[in-house]
Amino acid sequence: MSVGVDVTVWRVVVVALATSAAPASAQWTLRGTGLVSILKHRVDAGYGVEPSSGVVGGSEVTVGAGDRVTVHLVAQAGSLKAQAPGAIARDVAEVAARLDAVTFSWLTLQVGAGHRTYSTLLARQAWSMITVGAEGRLAFSETGVSGTVRGAILPGVWVSGLDRPDLAFTGAAGMEYRPGHAVVALVYALERYRFPAGAGAERREQTAALTLKVGWSLH
């Protein structure tokens, strides 16, 4: 991604967040959510595809100011087992923060940052990421039932030992149910990265996750 595109993206984000700023008298809300994911990780660093998968668990704290601005803090970790000969088991841990700004009732702009580590017997690889995207919401006629579709680009990805990727995006879709103060969601998410060949081979990496979220809101 070029510098010009970077600047344009950040301008859009800043304007969107500024226009969605919560009023001083906004009502604050707090929600705690437990996360359980089936995570499938695939990487090809030029030596063939190395698949691994496992269960990752974590929690999310959401703080809302009014009904327009929300901050999400996520922490999760788990172990992925090798799923093919030659693949290496690894532990994964991640912390992330995201700011949501509701632009329309059906559209939310999102900007976030995260840090992830993959640890194997051989080495530890650190990932730092910045995401910019949007989430669309399809509200069903029944109150509290909705579908969500999310897409984001990652204009900033820094991986230890690797150049920055020339392709990085993430997408997610799922169903969400909010009976009263409870929140239950099932979401499929996909992350794709492609690192340029450089001196070595081209590297491709992907994670796919099915996540069950169960949370409770405090008003």
Partner 1 sequence: MKGLLVGLALGAILFGPAAAQEGAPDSTAQLLEHAHGLYERLDVERALPLLRRVLSPDWAFPVATAQRVDAYSYLAACLVLLGQGDSAAVYFRAALENDPFTGLDPRRFTPGQLAAFQAARRLTFAVAARPVNVVRVDPRTERLTFTIVTTHAATVQVEVRSADAAVHRELYHGESDGLREIPWDGLAAEGRLVPPGRYELVVDGRSRLLGRSDSAHVYFDVRHQLPALEDTLPDLRPRQLLPEHYPPSAATGDLAKGLGLAAGVALLAVLADRRLGSGDAELPAAVAATATVSGVIAFVWRRRHRDVPENGPANTRRRQERHDANEATRRRNAERIAQTVLLITPASGLGP
Binding site for partner 1 (CB under 8 A): 38, 40, 42-44, 49, 51, 105, 138, 140-143, 145, 147, 149, 171-175, 186-188, 190, 192, 194, 204-206, 208-210
CB of 14 to partner 1, least distance (A): 28
CB of 184 to partner 1, least distance (A): 11
CB of 202 to partner 1, least distance (A): 9
167-173, long-range: CB within 8 Å, 24+ apart, which pairs?
167/192, 167/193, 167/194, 168/129, 168/192, 168/193, 168/194, 170/131, 170/133, 172/148, 173/147, 173/148, 173/149
**What DSSP assignment string belongs to 150-217?**
EEEEEEEEEETTSPPPSEEEEEEEEEEE--TTEEEEEEEEEEEEEE--TTS--EEEEEEEEEEEEEEE
Indicate the residue type of 193: Y
Q: Which is nearer to partner 1, 1 or 145 (CB)?
A: 145
DSSP strand pairing (124-139 vs 69-82): unpaired
* DSSP label of 1: -
CB of 3 to partner 1, least distance (A): 26
Q: Which is nearer to partner 1, 101 or 187 (CB)?
A: 187
Q: Which residues of 180-195 are buried (b: 16+ CB within 10 A; e: fewer)?
A: eeebebebebebbbeb
CB of 81 to partner 1, least distance (A): 14
Name 84's bridge partners: none
Q: Which is nearer to partner 1, 17 or 152 (CB)?
A: 152
Residues 6 or more apart from 18 whose CB is under 8 A from it?
Answer: none
Q: Which is nearer to partner 1, 8 or 27 (CB)?
A: 27
Q: Which is nearer to partner 1, 12 or 173 (CB)?
A: 173
Q: Which is nearer to partner 1, 65 or 173 (CB)?
A: 173
CB of 24 to partner 1, least distance (A): 16
